[in-house]
C-alpha cells in the first residue's frame, strides 16, 4: 500500500506543477451532490481494507477505498455500527466518500454527524505530502481538530488515505411508532419529546404521518411505547421505512418523469413549518427538511434564512450555480484560506463546493 500512496503523491505533485485539476473519486455514488466534477479522475478504490479494529475499544481504522458495505458488515458481525447511519446511494460507496460527503442518515439528530465520529485521518495534501491528524483514541487533539474539517469537504482539501472512526454498539431493542398529525403539530410534538428522556433515535413526517423510532435498552423502549402511544409499525416495515429514508429509495425521493429539484433545508428544530410550494418531508426532529420544488433559489433561500436556516440543492436542478447556501464574506474568506493551506495550486475537485474553491 505504501507504493500506491507514493504513486499518488507523485501524481499530485506533477498535477500541481502543471496546474492540472484532479477529480478525487471512490465509488462515485454521490457524484450528483455538489457542483459538477472537474479534472482527471484519481480513483481511490485500490486503497482498501481494515487496518485495525478492536471491538472492545469501539474504534476502527480503515482505508479510504474500502467499500462501506464491507466495513458495516464487519462491524455488524461484532454487534456494532456506524451510528450516524451514512447513506450509500449505491453498492460502490466507499469509506472515503462517506467522510468526504459528510452525509448522515436518520439517527443523526440522536447521536451526531460524520465529523463527530472521526478520530483521525491520514491524507495527501496538494503538495503531495502525506499528513496525519488525530489518532485512534477518543481524546487525541489539543486545539483545532483538523481531521474533522475533511467531513463534507467533497475532496476539495486533500486525498484521504485512511480514517479512524468511533463506532457504537447496536441497540439492544428498537421499535417504531406511527401517528397521524399535521406538520405544525408534529414539529411541536417532536420538540416536546426532544426535551424529555425518551430513547428517540429517528423521526420522519410526511403527508400527515409522523413516524418515530425508539432505540436502546428493552425496558426503556417498552416504557416509551407505553408513554407515547401511537400505532406500532411491524419490524420489517419499519426497517424498510428507515432504510428508504437513509438511501432515498422512499417514494418521496422518486424523481418522476419531470423531476423538480430536491432541496435539503437545515433549520433550527423549533423553527415553524416552512410555507413553500412543493412537497416536504421532515426529519431529525425538525432540523432537516426535504423539499421538492421549482421555486426560484433566491426566494427559497431568503425564506429559509429568515427562519435561521440554509438551503442546499441536493439533487436534480441546475448544478452549475450556487448549489450550497451562499457564504457570508467572512466565511468565504475562511474557506478560501483553508483551501489555500491544504491545496495551494487548487487542483483537488475545483469548484465542487463553491466557485473558486
Q: What is the pLDDT of residue 142?
A: 45
Weakest-pLDDT range from 53-57, 74-78, 109-113, 141-145: 141-145
Give 251-273 pLDDT, tens digit per residue: 999 876 567 999 999 999 999 88
> Are residues 234 and 195 part of one domain?
yes
Q: What is the pLDDT of residue 140?
A: 46
> Are residues 135 and 68 part of one domain?
yes
Give 69-126 pLDDT, tens digit per residue: 999 999 999 999 999 999 999 999 999 999 999 999 999 999 999 999 999 999 999 9
321 is a domain residue: no
Give 185-204 pLDDT, tens digit per residue: 999 999 999 999 999 999 99
325 is a domain residue: no
**Average pLDDT score over residue span 23-48:** 96
Q: Name residue, grid cell 410526511.
A: 206
* Percentage of the chain lying above the pLDDT 70 cut: 96
> Are residues 191 and 76 part of one domain?
no
> Are residues 182 and 72 part of one domain?
no
> Are residues 165 and 177 part of one domain?
no
76 is a domain residue: yes
> Are residues 128 and 201 part of one domain?
no
Total of domains in the chain: 2
Give 274-310 pLDDT, tens digit per residue: 888 899 999 999 999 999 999 999 999 999 999 999 9
- HSE, side-chain direction, 13 A CA sphere, residue 190: 35
328 is a domain residue: no
Give 201-220 pLDDT, tens digit per residue: 999 999 999 999 999 999 99
* Percentage of the chain lying above the pLDDT 90 cut: 88
356 is a domain residue: no
> Are residues 158 and 40 part of one domain?
yes
> Are residues 178 and 268 part of one domain?
yes
> Are residues 80 and 124 part of one domain?
yes
Cβ burial, residue 229 (10 Å; 0-12/13-18/19+): exposed
Which cell numbers hold the place of 315? 439533487
Q: Write out the residue range of the structural domain in which residue 148 sits.
A: 2-169+333-342
> Are residues 338 and 222 part of one domain?
no
Q: What is the pLDDT of residue 136?
A: 61
Is the pLDDT at 141 greater than 60, yes or no? Answer: no
Is the pLDDT at 138 greater than 60, yes or no? Answer: no
Q: What is the dihedral of CA 136, 109, 212, 79, to 10 degrees?
A: 0
> Are residues 208 and 151 part of one domain?
no
36 is a domain residue: yes
Give the mean pLDDT of the chain: 94
Distances (CA, A) of 37 to 8, 29, 88: 19, 13, 19
Q: What is the pLDDT of residue 356?
A: 86
CATH of the domain at 135: 3.30.465.10
Q: What is the pLDDT of residue 257?
A: 55
E-strand stretches of the chain:
22-25, 40-43, 50-54, 59-63, 80-81, 118-124, 130-134, 159-166, 168-169, 173-180, 200-206, 209-216, 231-233, 262-266, 279-283, 288-292, 310-315
> Are residues 182 and 275 part of one domain?
yes
320 is a domain residue: no
Amino acid at each position: 500500500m505504501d507504493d500506491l500512496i507514493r504513486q499518488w503523491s507523485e501524481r499530485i505533485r506533477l498535477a500541481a506543477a502543471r496546474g492540472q485539476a484532479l477529480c478525487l473519486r471512490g465509488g462515485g455514488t454521490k457524484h450528483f451532490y455538489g457542483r459538477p466534477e472537474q479534472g482527471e479522475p484519481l480513483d481511490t478504490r485500490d486503497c482498501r481494507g481494515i487496518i485495525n479494529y478492536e471491538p472492545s475499544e469501539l474504534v476502527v481504522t480503515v482505508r479510504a477505498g474500502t467499500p462501506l458495505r464491507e466495513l458495516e458488515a464487519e462491524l455488524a458481525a461484532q454487534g456494532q455500527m456506524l451510528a450516524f447511519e451514512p447513506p450509500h446511494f449505491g453498492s460502490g460507496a466507499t469509506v472515503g466518500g462517506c467522510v468526504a460527503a459528510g452525509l448522515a442518515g436518520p439517527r443523526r439528530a440522536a447521536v451526531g454527524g460524520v465529523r463527530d465520529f472521526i478520530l483521525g485521518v491520514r491524507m495527501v495534501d496538494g503538495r503531495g505530502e502525506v499528513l496525519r491528524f488525530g489518532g485512534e483514541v477518543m481524546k487525541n487533539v489539543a486545539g483545532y481538530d483538523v481531521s474533522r474539517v475533511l467531513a463534507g469537504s467533497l475532496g476539495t482539501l486533500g486525498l484521504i488515505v485512511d480514517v479512524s472512526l468511533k463506532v457504537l454498539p447496536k441497540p439492544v431493542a428498537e421499535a417504531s411508532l406511527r401517528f397521524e398529525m399535521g406538520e405544525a403539530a408534529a414539529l411541536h410534538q417532536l420538540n416536546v419529546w426532544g426535551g424529555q428522556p425518551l430513547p428517540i433515535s429517528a423521526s420522519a413526517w410526511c403527508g400527515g404521518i409522523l413516524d418515530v423510532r425508539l432505540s436502546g435498552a428493552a425496558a426503556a423502549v417498552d416504557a416509551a411505547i407505553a408513554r407515547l402511544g401511537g400505532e406500532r409499525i411491524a419490524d420489517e416495515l419499519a426497517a424498510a421505512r428507515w432504510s428508504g429514508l437513509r438511501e432515498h429509495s422512499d417514494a418521496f425521493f422518486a424523481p418522476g418523469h419531470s423531476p423538480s429539484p430536491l432541496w435539503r433545508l437545515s433549520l433550527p428544530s423549533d423553527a415553524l413549518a416552512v410555507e413553500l410550494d412543493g412537497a416536504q418531508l421532515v426529519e431529525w426532529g425538525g432540523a432537516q427538511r426535504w423539499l421538492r420544488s421549482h421555486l426560484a433559489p433566491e426566494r427559497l433561500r431568503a425564506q429559509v434564512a429568515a427562519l435561521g436556516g440554509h438551503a442546499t440543492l441536493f439533487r436534480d436542478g441546475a448544478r452549475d450555480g450556487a448549489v450550497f447556501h451562499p457564504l457570508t464574506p467572512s466565511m468565504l474568506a475562511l474557506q478560501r484560506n483553508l483551501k489555500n493551506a491544504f491545496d495551494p495550486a487548487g487542483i483537488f475537485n475545483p469548484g465542487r463546493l463553491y466557485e473558486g474553491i
